[in-house]
Amino acid sequence: MTAMYGVAPVEDFDAARAALDAAKAAPLRQTWREDYEFYGAEDGVLSIRYEGACTTCGLSHKFNDDQPIEGISA
């Protein structure tokens, strides 16, 4: 938008501004899906599993960790 200011014809700039305003007013869609679980506390080790991914662009992240719980023996 900024690159168009003073360079593009006024009509093109106004059309781009209107499109931007419409995009800002549109409700956001949730595109990040998350799956996670916590388990194992009864065994003395808390297991954490997390996966998240964008359904639009494919960006993803996974995280797994096991944490011993003090005072509980496995």
Residues 31-65 pLDDT 10s:
999 999 999 988 899 999 999 999 999 999 999 99
pTM of the model: 0.55
Phi, psi of 2, rounded to the nearest 5 degrees: -60, -35
Q: Could you give phi then psi for residue 23, rounded to 5 degrees?
A: -65, -40
**In degrees rounded to 5, what are phi and psi of residue 27?**
-65, 145
- For domain 31-68, which CATH number applies: 2.20.25, 3.40.50, 2.60.40, 1.20.120? 2.20.25
The 3-state DSSP composition of the chain as helix, strand, coil percent (nearest 5) reads 30, 35, 35
Q: Domain-by-domain residue ranges, the chain?
A: 1-27, 31-68
pLDDT at 1 over 70: no
What's the one-letter identity of residue 18?
A
* HSE-up of residue 55 (Cα within 13 Å, Cβ side): 6
